[in-house]
Structure 1
């Protein structure tokens, strides 16, 4: 393994810690590590593992992050790694319109100011997004995270010199598995079948990682996603936000998310899908971005993130 270090410059404002916690969510996440200000993860580039270690070296109006690659041929993968990190952390996304909207809204301004610099993260692949949805649907996030950790420990690829750091399982690996093997890791047989089916779709050479869906508008993309076995409205909207970066979409069937929304707004009524939509109309097109803010806000309240 060899190392290579380079610098990326996010659009301001940017805070790596807040952004990483939007994807990490729980301290026991073994895929996305964040210790001493450094985000560590193993990416798969081609078929090879690439360990990355990312830290923020400058804040303010000219933020910078340093990316260190550990790989067999780091120079050969530098461009693709930079593209993946940029996409995952939304480094090139200009959120100035969102901050202008927040400035004129007292309620949103408090949340946006507290978490200023948090970008709307995406998972490394759409398949990984689906896997998160399958594992966490109808169970607590903490329980779902344990399942994802076991999948990673069983099927992930070791990257770098740290034997404990593994990639999220490749779709091709899960496609070759079977429901009984996944059941042993904590998925029900039905969920195991769903995940294997999704993995097989993800490795279709004619449509790798659901790329064609990403080219569609929101309604058509959700309609296409909803035709996949095991994908309902919640999963489709979750994948649109977390996989395709559609920050206008708040997964309205996410019980935890909508409870956080109503608590933040001080609403006493029981939240419903339709009421969530009505609540978010005033902040269109940033419903999904607000969803991510509420996730990180809850993590910040636990003391994991200093704000």
Structure 2
């Protein structure tokens, strides 16, 4: 990491393609937690109760991160770098993934077309869990509508040069809500109960990201599924996008089924059992296979 008056530079792997990640991040016009404008990504972060606005661009195997507000302290710059590296999985060596994928009839064309794509994570456990629950059993468009309402009602807003930027709601805020508070946003009763329950579990430290990261794959999944509202799909999704588990694979995911139907030229969506069996070919890289299949849905 190199820092200057109002920006810092974060080295990236040679096989990282920022623009491919931006396509994924820009898949909904209802997104409020970041903005993609051309090849620039803007996102607010809260670090030690300080609001930091990031404007990111890529070039020459590095990300340039500008700070439109005041330049953060060195300690906060280190925290920003850690967040970004986690967000884009920059510390991962993908050589063995690409070797496997180039020999796989389903993945070969995808990794050629979208080379450099990395899993775009959700580093915050509360956000990852509640976003997964919000998206349960509804289409992606309505999931983003609910998320936008959720963030704009209960999150924190910042302004810069006439633009609005939003932070995801804090677990403390959501843990203090009633079910009716969320039902007013068109959450179902059950989904509202789940989200509030997860918030309370985070606040009480009944479950923490640090604790989960000490567990093996099986124990991690079991621990997540002890939370009310977290089934196999939700647990796998959170393990894949928040807990850095490259073996995680949400086999029941409808988006994966649509992507595989297209890639395999099938007349109908494959069954979850078939998808699970197919995924065994991808070994410890099942999460990356899933992410490339999701990416194939966006052109």
Q: What is the TM-score when the length of structure 1 is the normalising length?
A: 0.89
> Shift of the alpha carbon at 1:166?
0.8
What stretches of structure 1 of length at least 5 have no aligned partner? 302-307
> Shift of the alpha carbon at 1:39?
1.0
Contact 1:50 1:160 (8 Å CA) reproduced: no
Q: Tell me what 1:304 maps to.
A: none
| Matches for 1:246-257 after TM superposition, within 5 Å | 246-257=245-256
Q: Tell me what 2:281 maps to.
A: 282
CA RMSD in angstroms comes to 2.0
Give the Cα–Cα distance (whole angstroms) in 2 for the partners of residues 70 and 254 of structure 1. Answer: 39
Secondary structure of the 2:204 match is coil
Number of residues of Structure 1 aligned to a counterpart in Structure 2: 293
TM superposition outliers: structure 1 runs of 4+ over 6 Å: none
Q: What is the TM-score when the length of structure 2 is the normalising length?
A: 0.91
Secondary structure of the 2:22 match is helix
**Residue 204 of structure 2 is aligned to residue 204 of structure 1:** yes
Give the Cα–Cα distance (whole angstroms) in 2 for the partners of residues 186 and 12 of structure 1. Answer: 44
The C-alpha deviation readout for 1:262-300, integer Å capped at 9, x for no partner, is: 32123446422221121122221221111111222211x
State which drifts further: 76-85 or 98-107. Answer: 98-107
| Matches for 1:199-278 after TM superposition, within 5 Å | 199-205=199-205, 207-208=207-208, 210-268=209-267, 270-278=269-277
Give the Cα–Cα distance (whole angstroms) in 1 for the partners of residues 88 and 195 of structure 2. Answer: 25
Bigger relative CO (Cα 8 Å, ≥ 6 apart) = 1
The C-alpha deviation readout for 1:220-272, integer Å capped at 9, x for no partner, is: 11111111111111111111111112122220111222231232123446422
Secondary structure of the 1:234 match is helix
Give the Cα–Cα distance (whole angstroms) in 1 for the partners of residues 190 and 70 of structure 2. Answer: 38
Secondary structure of the 2:107 match is helix
Residue 47 of structure 2: which of 34, 45, 48 is its match?
A: 45
Contact 1:57 1:64 (8 Å CA) reproduced: yes
What stretches of structure 2 of length at least 5 have no aligned partner? none
Give the Cα–Cα distance (whole angstroms) in 2 for the partners of residues 172 and 46 of structure 1. Answer: 15
